[in-house]
Amino acid sequence: MSSPKFDRPPPEITIAKLSFPAPRVLLVTISRPKALNAIDIAGSWELASLFDWFDQEPPLWVAIVTGEGRTFSAGADLKAWNAEIGSGGFREMPPSGFGGLSRRTGKKPVIAAVNGIAYGGGFEMTVNCDLVIASATAKFCFPEVKRGVAPFAGAMPRLVRTIGKQRAMELMLTGRVLPAQEAKEWALVNVVCPEGRDVVDEALEWAKVIAENSPDSVIVTRQGINWGWEGVGADEGTRISNSLWHHKLMAGDNIKEGLKAFVEKRNPKWTDSKL
């Protein structure tokens, strides 16, 4: 599929390849296969700028992130990290975290298509994605304790909200490998693809389903869910969501189109979100 027309061109990045496999969908393929798609600090800043751009481009409604080759991401580029620490020139991560995703709040949904191992920072990225689709051979691991470091990129507090304290402790204190099916049983993965099914193809089908819905509603609903996940109480989260989004949603074109289409018994024709 050809690239849609954007208000601004995507930022130039070297860490990943960009494509547009379906209307309204951005596919980001981390492309350092010889390094098992390890990401250095510069790569995280590149991806942060990319996902910021994605949020601001109306024609794009959903993103998918995957890895080239047999790995999603082996995490931080420890060779680069070691060199930076040794030279005293260590650079901090972007506010949105490792790979521009591990601490991202953002506006639009991002689906992780985990095609192989997701270790360290790679795992931290998936913990904060909105949906996780995994290949049958995908594996997840926090090996930081075996390297004298810690998963600082946002997963420590987020993981416990998803799988509970004891399971989070088990993963992070032992560094054991979690197979895809067990990750699904622990609610860290939405779908495990059967053998022979391409994980990106599966993720793309989910992206298309999301993109069939009102982009305004998707943005507002995603934000409301995240308020709860970040630890805000139900009443407070509802109050914040209503104060930020209710008027904008009600004043938009898509709610009018959705209600009119229902009355006229036809499929709605959504327009790009202005939220």
Tell me the β-bridge partners of 131: 111
Report pLDDT digits (tens) over 138-182: 999 999 999 888 888 888 889 999 999 999 999 999 999 999 999
| pLDDT of the residue at 241 | 85
| pLDDT of the residue at 61 | 98
| pLDDT of the residue at 162 | 93
Catalytic residue, chosen from 43, 121, 154, 252, is 121
Q: Give yes or no for a contact between 3 and 24, defined as CB atoms under 8 angstroms apart.
A: no
| pLDDT of the residue at 80 | 67
Dmax of the chain from CA atoms? Answer: 67
Give the DSSP letter string of the chain. -PPPP-SSPPPP-SSEEEEEEETTEEEEEE--GGGTT-B-HHHHHHHHHHHHHHHH-TT--EEEEEESTTEEE--B-HHHHHHHHHHT---PPPTT-GGGTTT---SS-EEEEE-SEEETHHHHHHHTSSEEEE-TT-EEE--GGGTT---TTTHHHHHHHHH-HHHHHHHHHH---EEHHHHHHTTS-SEEPPTT--HHHHHHHHHHHHHTS-HHHHHHHHHHHHHHHTT--HHHHHHHHIIIIIHHHHHSHHHHHHHHHHHTTS---------
| pLDDT of the residue at 1 | 62
Q: Is 233 a catalytic residue?
A: no
Average pLDDT value for residue range 29-39? 95
Rounded-to-integer distance, Cα 98 and Cα 96, Å: 7
Does 88 score more than 80 pLDDT? no
Average pLDDT value for residue range 7-21? 95
Q: Is 144 a catalytic residue?
A: yes
Strand order in the sheet with 71-73: 71-73, 117-119, 139-141, 178-179
| pLDDT of the residue at 230 | 78
Report pLDDT digits (tens) over 102-146: 999 999 999 999 999 999 999 999 999 999 999 999 999 999 999
Which amino acid does the sequence have at 148?
A: G
Q: Is 168 a catalytic residue?
A: no
| pLDDT of the residue at 53 | 98
Q: Give yes or no for a contact between 127 and 155, defined as CB atoms under 8 angstroms apart.
A: yes
| pLDDT of the residue at 206 | 98
Give percent above pLDDT 90 in the chain: 76
Question: Range with the lowest mean pLDDT among 12-16, 151-155, 172-176, 195-199?
Answer: 151-155
Between residues 90 and 155, the one the model is more confident about: 155
Q: Give yes or no for a contact between 248 and 275, defined as CB atoms under 8 angstroms apart.
A: yes
| pLDDT of the residue at 7 | 86
Rounded-to-integer distance, Cα 120 and Cα 134, Å: 16
What fold does the segment set 16-211 form as a domain?
Answer: 2-enoyl-CoA Hydratase; Chain A, domain 1 (3.90.226)
Report pLDDT digits (tens) over 76-86: 887 766 556 55
| pLDDT of the residue at 85 | 53
Q: Is the dihedral of CA 226, 230, 234, 235 positive or negative?
A: negative
Does 92 score more than 90 pLDDT? no
Catalytic residue, chosen from 16, 76, 118, 183, is 76
Which residues does 6 contact at the CB level (< 8 Å), separation at least 6?
Answer: 57, 59
As a whole number, the mean pLDDT across the chain is 92
| pLDDT of the residue at 109 | 98
Does 89 score more than 60 pLDDT? no
Catalytic residue, chosen from 16, 57, 134, 144, is 144
Residue-range domain boundaries for the chain: 16-211, 215-263
Measured in degrees and rounded to the nearest 5, phi and psi for residue 29 equal: -110, 110
Give percent above pLDDT 70 in the chain: 94
Q: Is 170 a catalytic residue?
A: no
